[in-house]
Amino acid sequence: MNKTIFLVGARAAGKTTIGKMLANKLSFSFVDTDCHLLETTQKTVAEIVEKEGWDGFRARESQVLIDTTKSSRVIATGGGMVLAEHNRDFMKQNGTVIFLSAPAATLAARLMKDPNVAQRPSLTGLSIVDEMEKVLADRLPLYHDAAHHVINVDQDERQILSEILQILQN
């Protein structure tokens, strides 16, 4: 198997954590699009949004997706990467897209443990729980549209990894 694997899902779904584990297991390289953006611009997501607005950030995010796509790589995408139809199409055409799915309550609990506001600015101004419910309601159809496979991440990381590896072997 020599292809690109894209991980999509909401904030705190475990895209970076699972992505690193998966890349290690497959001997692939790993890229987190938000981290790549931070490294290349020397600005956090919050700083980019403050200066360029969400539209400016989304444009940069789309470019990072294209720039980082290489075979034998696992790419953890930003939670909103699926908002642009061209990003969903690009991922589907250039690799295997796995949606890491979890209930809003699980995601909110993870976010409250590690809010990391600089890299995860509020999208709505709502409480974390209300925001996750709203964002998931808005984006769920987009995550499903982008994904070749859906994995429930409300379980042990080793089990998640095992399920993904099984899917990739088929």
- Condensed to tens digits (0 to 9), the pLDDT of residues 142-154 reads 999 999 999 999 9
- Which domain does 93 fall in, by range? 4-169
- For 38-94, the pLDDT digits (tens) are 999 999 888 998 999 999 999 999 999 999 999 999 999 998 999 999 999 999 999
Tokens of 128: 């974390």
Positive or negative, the CA dihedral 59, 60, 61, 63 is positive
Question: What confidence score (pLDDT) does residue 118 get?
Answer: 43
* pTM exceeds 0.75, yes or no: yes
* pLDDT at 140 exceeding the cut of 80: yes
Question: What confidence score (pLDDT) does residue 2 get?
Answer: 61
Name which of 124, 29, 30, 17 is nearest 80 in CA terms.
124
Residue 94 sits in a domain whose CATH number is 3.40.50.300
If one counts the domains in the chain, the total is: 1
Work out the pLDDT band at 170, boundaries 50, 70, 90. Answer: confident
The rounded mean pLDDT for the chain is 90
- Helices and strands (H, E) in the chain, number of each type: 7, 5
User: Which contiguous run of DSSP H or E holds residue 68?
Assistant: helix 45-68
* pLDDT at 102 exceeding the cut of 50: yes
Tokens of 130: 């209300």
- For 32-54, the pLDDT digits (tens) are 998 999 999 999 888 998 999 99
